[in-house]
Amino acid sequence: MLDSSFFASAEVQKREVTLADGKKHTLYFKELPAIEFTRYFNAVNSKDEDIALLASAKLIAAGVCEADGKPAVTVEQAATLKPGPLGAILDALRDVNGLGDESKNA
């Protein structure tokens, strides 16, 4: 039997996201199963531009939540993020899921 640490946790994790203007925002994230990242990478590499363009928005909608775990943003809302905040949120989401630079040092 695999240890529970192999699986995505339902626990909500808090991260501070700093934007280019220096303002800090507390956001909440959940771990995502590997299939969500496979879906993301497949979409990013899609030859269909519409699919590729929505890949980040879908990942953000799946991983960003309220403190109680409920979704915080829709795909449509995430698709309207400015480039800086989108990158900062993706960095935090990767970190929460053990894919960011900070997680390597933890």
How many structural domains are present in the chain? Answer: 1
- How much is the pTM? 0.89
3 in a structural domain = no
106 in a structural domain = no
Let me know: does 44 contact 55? Beta carbons within 8 Å: yes
Q: Residue 101: pLDDT above 70?
A: no
Q: Which domain holds residue 60?
A: 33-99
In the block, tokens 């915080």 appear at 72
Q: How many CB atoms lie within 10 A of CB 59?
A: 25
Taking 3-state DSSP, the helix, strand and coil percentages for the chain, each rounded to the nearest 5, stand at 50, 15, 35
Q: Reduced to 3 states, what is the DSSP secondary structure of residue 13?
A: strand
Higher pLDDT, 94 or 106: 94
93 in a structural domain = yes
Q: Report pLDDT for 104.
A: 43
60 in a structural domain = yes
50 in a structural domain = yes
67 in a structural domain = yes
Angle between the N-to-C axes of helices 49-63 and 83-96, in degrees from 0 to 180, rounded to the nearest 10? 60
24-63 per-position pLDDT tens digit:
999 999 999 999 999 999 999 999 999 999 999 999 999 9
Phi, psi of 92 (to 5 degrees): -65, -40
